[in-house]
Structure 1
Amino acid sequence: MIFENSGLIGLKSDLAYLDETAEKLGFVRWQWEYTRATYDFKMEDKKNNKEYYLRINTRAVEGKLENPDAILAIEAVYMGITTFPHGLDYETPIPASFVSAAEQKIEQLKRNLEA
């Protein structure tokens, strides 16, 4: 599931502030290389034994990720369900309660980055 109108796409932040802000909201910077990083927020459906991830993709537009002053721009916001052994399925429908929770996290992150 892609969040087309998240309001996050195109927002920019330096790496240090984005890391700090995202971490306070429960995101973890998992995948990263010199010019791009992915921030994930994990949601668990304990009743149905499922895990969902809200994923924020970023790309360095100034500098490289080993520098806390590097400027990152958000490129995409999407959500998927985990698949065995290490993937995410973006096509399977996600329960409305988890979509709503993801939308709230998106809004919180947006507010913090626009401040």
Structure 2
Amino acid sequence: MKLENLGIEDTVVDLKPLDHIMGKHAFIRAGQWDYERVTYDYKIGSNENNITYYIRIQGYALEGDVDRGNAVIKLLTPLLGKHYYPHGVEYGEEENFPENLVERANKILEKVSDELKELKGE
């Protein structure tokens, strides 16, 4: 599920401050990158059996290299996904998400968006 209109999509930011902001909000990049793309995940536990939810923010390098840490990243629209053990994460619009989970995800992303705006001086 796309989480739109939160001010994150199309934001352009240097990789190092982006990593810092995302880390402050418990988003993990870990090994989820290549030379041109980054992916940050935020894990949300669930009482549902064998189901975990994730907020995912992806971006791609407009210039520079992620491996070298000098990339300028353009962020994409955040996604809310549901992990089905052992099959993987589904981000499709046909997935059902509890309303309180969507609200929680939006609040988390609003905090990230606010910090990104502060960084950009908006």
On whether the aligned pair clears a TM of 0.5, the verdict is: yes
The reply on whether 1:94 has 2:97 as its aligned counterpart is yes
Aligned-residue offset at 1:56: 0.3
Match of 2:74 in 1: 73
Displacement after TM superposition at 1:69 (Å): 2.7
Residues 13 and 86 from structure 1, CA distance in 2 versus in 1: closer, same or farther, beyond 3 angstroms? Answer: farther
Mapped partners of 2:77, 2:68: distance in 1: 22
Coordinate RMSD, CA, aligned = 1.3
Which residue identity is paired with 1:12?
V
| SS of equivalent to 1:26 | coil
State the 1:86 CA deviation: 5.0
CA distance in 2, matches of 1:86, 1:64: 32
User: In structure 2, what is the Cα distance between the partners aligned to 1:111 and 1:76?
Assistant: 15
**Amino acid in the other structure paired with 1:98:** L
- Residue 26 of structure 1 is matched in structure 2 by 26
Within 2, Cα distance between the matches of 1:86 and 1:40? 17
Asked if residue 110 in structure 1 is aligned to residue 108 in structure 2, the reply is: no
Matched residues in 2 for 1:86 and 1:3: separation?
23
TM superposition score normalised by structure 2: 0.86
How many angstroms apart in 2 are the aligned matches of 1:8 and 1:106?
A: 8
Contact 1:15 1:67 in 2 (8 A): no
For residue 48 of structure 2, give the secondary structure of its aligned residue in structure 1.
coil
Taking only the aligned residue pairs, the percentage that are identical comes to 34
Q: What stretches of structure 2 of length at least 5 have no aligned partner?
A: none
Q: 1:35 maps to what in 2?
A: 36
Q: Give 1:87 shift.
A: 1.8
Query: Would you say how many aligned residue pairs link Structure 1 and Structure 2?
Result: 114
Which amino acid is 1:97 matched to?
N
Normalising by the residue count of structure 1, what TM-score does the alignment of the two structures yield?
0.91
